[in-house]
Structure 1
Amino acid sequence: MNQTDDPLLAVVSAYAAACEGLAAATTGRTGRGPQGALLAVTGAPIAALNGIISPSLNPSAEEIMALAAEGSPWEFPWSIHVRGVPGPLVAEAAARHGLTHFEREPLMIRYSDQGLPTEPDVDGLRIRAVPVDELGLYARTVAGGFEAPPEIFQIFADSSLAKVDGFTFYLAELDGVPVGTGMTAVAGGLTGIFNVATLPGYRRRGYGRAVTVEMVRAGFAAGAGTAYLYSSKMGEPVYQSVGFRTEEYLTVITAPA
């Protein structure tokens, strides 16, 4: 299938490439199937950050099974990511590995022809790119934003991530105190947006929206004015207010909690 038949293929492929870059920097455990499916193991104790991603609208169960065998033994929680509703063969392949929980995540896109969003204006909030020597602070703030133990997101403290082409990490601060985070992966004219999180005591003040707008503006400056992200259902209204629209869904298949 070519780009004309599948206009979102480039976006989903960019998402897969960002996951590949993260895994290559942290563990080096990556692989590709003949039809383009990706094996990416970051080593984080989060199923969504280890696994197999198929950018195709028609994923191959055989390719997924082969990559699952390549990733074995799976010493970390892992997952299978496919677009839309998984077919019975993919669901069966996942179930053979105990992956039977299905979670849908909206793919939201803001196209470059919508123009540059207005610069965020939130009193006292400073949003800045994080240098390599502050990635530990960044990782701790991400964990706090997602209300998770610090070790869950420790991979984002890995200094090798600063060397990944196109990756930028952001902190939002009030009077020098971190209150939120974001991350971009810029490649091929696209800005991938990740890790948008706000610390619990600072929510409902527009900080997550401000970080998102700042990252979209940075993407424009880098020549990547079309931005994409995978959202939670709760986050959809925030991103819609910035101009993102849901285009399709990603199904993440994991083991039951």
Structure 2
Amino acid sequence: MYAFNPKAQVQWLELGQSRTRALLIDDALTDLSLIRQEAMSATFRQDQGSYYPGVRAELPQAYARCLLEALYPLLLQLVQPPPEYRLIPQQWYLSLLTTPAAQLLPLQRLPHFDKAEPLHLAILHYLADGPHGGTGFFRHDASGLEKITPAQQQAYFSQLQQQLAAQGGAAAGFPAAQTPHFTLYQQLAYKPNRLLIYPGHLLHSALVEPDTDLSADPRHGRLTANLFVQFQPKR
């Protein structure tokens, strides 16, 4: 049985100049062994529906239900949706990074946002022992944007496209502190059984360590659980 740890350590964060609220929760589950066993028997495939540079598998529903039931009060505090809104799970995966840096597509070499909606949340759970690369949050230098709203999305992409065209395309390698046109302003370390919860419209990226992170073997790779949820009006 999955069980959320009643003694989990909850830390509220304010990220960047925008002071966007996020959550860091250590020792989230009482025991990681069950989800790790599930990952060992899961079928991982290339994710054709996103630009994730790796493979993904279905996340056990019992695990997702355990997390969401425990986290729901905190998610309400995090984004404070209107009272008539409800939480809608949208996607949930087990994930492993596998794509070598030399094979990355242009968009995989840049910080990204999941969805230009302030009530869309990413729930990231670090499941392996590590060491592995953590997660970074970025600011687009020219616009000063740390998060992308629907009204800003078109102008942001237009400006970024002009910048990339001027330099001959996105720089090689995974997003990092040296990525042109962006400033890495916050790094959060990969730690077993750590949960990171943040609005999906923030510019962010995994901070990939190729020597330790790239593996399709759940015993050795940068194994994470990824849940994406959004507060939406009740119908």
Q: Which has the higher contact order (CA 8 A, sep 6+)?
A: 2
User: Does the TM-score normalized on the shorter chain lie above 0.5?
Assistant: no
Greater helix proportion: 1
| Superposition TM-score, scaled by structure 2 size | 0.29
Q: TM-score scaled by structure 1?
A: 0.27
